[in-house]
Chains A and B, each alone.
Chain A
Amino acid sequence: MRFSGFRVVKEALTGHHGWKPLWRNPAPQPAYDYVIVGGGGHGLATAYHLAKVFKGTRIAVLEKGWLGSGNIGRNTTIIRSNYLLPGNEPFYEFSMKLWETMEQEFNFNAMVSQRGIVNLIHTDAQRDAYRRRGNAMLLAGADAELLDRDGVRAMYPWLNFDNARFPIKGGLLQRRAGTARHDGVAWGYARGADLLGVDIIQNCEVTGFRIENNRVIGVETSRGYIGAKKVGVAVAGSSGRVMAMAGMRLPIESHVLQAFVSEGLKPVVDGVITFGAGHFYVSQSDKGGLVFGGDIDGYNSYAQRGNLPVIEDVAEGGMALMPAIGRARLLRAWGGIMDMSMDGSPIIDRTPVDGLYLNAGWCYGGFKATPASGYAFAHLLATDRPHETATAYRLDRFARGYVIDEKGMGAQPNLH
């Protein structure tokens, strides 16, 4: 069924009886060509692109809970391609271009909204660093603008310009950045993949890999054994747990990142604002909630919940930057498990086990990468070669010294 305004009107006038399930609930087949472990954004995008672009068939996505139950459904919905390093920026710009066309392609409104992101500048050194970054973005074909203080003020006059501990001196603006409706992305890819014949199997937890002669031949699941020619793992915060079943240790720690939403408010924040001197970033959803976040809690965790100090820290940052939002109320806090890698950048690579592929290490930046991650992982699964924008995301880059460390923090995941 094709979604359209016409269809919405027709169904409205005929009692909505014609709407079909957005996807099937298929029983697992005994074997597939491709098994994607993880029915989150990256796994669903991988299956979608495998089927759509690489014409793969016999594809299954195995999800231990409900599809989209991981970080795709618990993030702050920001999309952007404002990276610095050559290992990253072309990939994220590729992702941005996919964001710009995905809705029409998979026929689902994921509410991709390019209302811009401003990274605020508070020191001369920060301006130097953002100038380097903005130039790197332009050189990679992305968009970037350097704003002075007045330029920021014109966009957001109610920011704290006059009474701040760290005065705003400018900002790096990417106009094509913005937000997307996170669940909508998962559903769009899921529906798109389902329509292309992908079996999305929910409530199907992978409990082991069957490996013979160093080649994966299938996965053990809570719903029985499923054979597979190739297995791609895209399980974010569960990467360590899952890959341990294949005998691998990863350059990844799992950490909790909290995110927050306020009660609904009439529109005040048009785009995304990032407060560099504090730990705070914010946008406003179409429903009116201020969606905001800050740093990870900082300790290893699989708990999907965080603690009060970070809530306070984030609110402090918010109030320091935007003292006019104080009378809004925090409505909900939630936590996601982030696969924090050792250099802050992801991994899309083969593993030492033949036929077993890994997509992991997205830290808290996985949402914006969803389309390109899926595309690049599908490319790797289908061709055994990395996508041209993802050649740096190798597992062996750590041992070989080719880390992609945007923040320059070294091998300490909670600092990235």
Chain B
Amino acid sequence: MLIPHPLLGPRDAQEFTYLGDASLLDRPDGMADTAPEAFAEYVYLRDNPAGVHRELWFHEQGDRSWLIVTRNTVTHEILGAELARDVALAAIGGAQ
């Protein structure tokens, strides 16, 4: 597979390490009263879609950036890739 790195262009997927669903960005507040339930869901439950999936890849043999790659799990077609940090920052901005 080829991962379209937003800064470096298409890179062989072998340069990357895969983590999983990009929902891992949405870490719950550990000090909240609902933390036990929220974390159980965050850590263990997945949508696991057959189709478009936003997922985390780490450019371990490259620039060490975490990417969010949007990929179809049925066809393996990649629809885009973003820097996870940008997405995470935007989420914080949106919350403020």
- Contact size class for A? 20 to 34
Interface string of B4-23 (1 = CB under 8 A from A): 00000000011000111100
Central interface residue in A238, A251, A414, by most chain B CB within 10 Å = A251
B74 touches A303 (CB 8 A): yes
Pairs A–B under 8 Å by Cβ, sample size 6:
A249-B46, A251-B44, A251-B45, A253-B48, A342-B43, A414-B20
B residues in contact with A244, CB < 8 Å:
47
Q: DSSP majority for the A interface?
A: mixed
A403 to B48, CA, bound (A): 20
Partner of B46 from the list A241, A250, A299 (CB cut-off 8 Å) is: A250
- Please provide the chain B residues from 54 to 72 with a CB less than 8 Å away from any CB of chain A in the complex: 55, 71
Given contacts A254-B50, A298-B18, A309-B13, contact A303 B44 (CB under 8 A): no
A252-B46, A254-B50, A412-B19 in contact; A399/B75 too (CB < 8 A)? no
Contacts A240-B47, A240-B48; A414 near B18 (Cβ below 8 A): yes
Closest to B47 in A: A249
Question: Could you tell me how many residues of chain B have their Cβ less than 8 Å away from some Cβ of chain A?
Answer: 26
**At the interface, is chain B mostly helix, strand, loop or mixed?**
mixed
Q: Which residues of chain B are within 8 angstroms of A303 by Cβ–Cβ distance?
A: 73-76
A33 vs chain B, min Cβ distance (A): 30
- Given the complex, which residues of A lie within 8 Å of B20, measured CB to CB? 253, 300, 412-414
Alpha-carbon distance A251/B37, docked complex (angstroms): 14
Alpha-carbon distance between A342 and B45 when the two chains are bound, in angstroms: 8
B1 at the interface (CB under 8 A from A): yes
- Contact assessment for A399 and B46 in the assembled complex, using a CB-CB cutoff below 8 Å: no
Pairs A-B, 7 closest by C-beta atoms: A240-B48, A399-B40, A251-B44, A398-B44, A249-B45, A302-B50, A342-B44
Q: How far is the CA of A414 from the CA of B1 in the complex (A)?
A: 17
> Is A301's CB within 8 Å of the partner chain B?
yes
A31 at the interface (CB under 8 A from B): no
Scoring A residues 335 to 351 as 1 if CB is less than 8 Å from chain B, else 0, what string do you get?
00000001000000000
Which of A238, A301, A414 is the one whose CB lies under 8 Å from B76?
A301
Which residue of chain A has the shortest Cβ distance to B53 in the bound complex?
A300
Bound-complex Cα distance A25 to B82 (A):
50
A382 lies within 8 A of chain B by Cβ:
no
Q: Which residue of chain B has the shortest Cβ distance to A300 in the bound complex?
A: B73
| Contact A251:B19 (CB < 8 A) given known A300-B53, A307-B1, A309-B13 | no
A309-B13, A398-B40, A399-B40 known; A299+B47 contact, CB < 8 A? no
Taking CB as reference atom, which chain B residue is nearest A251? B44
Verify B73–A254 contact, CB threshold 8 A.
Answer: yes
Within the complex, what minimum Cβ distance (angstroms) separates A257 from chain B?
Answer: 14
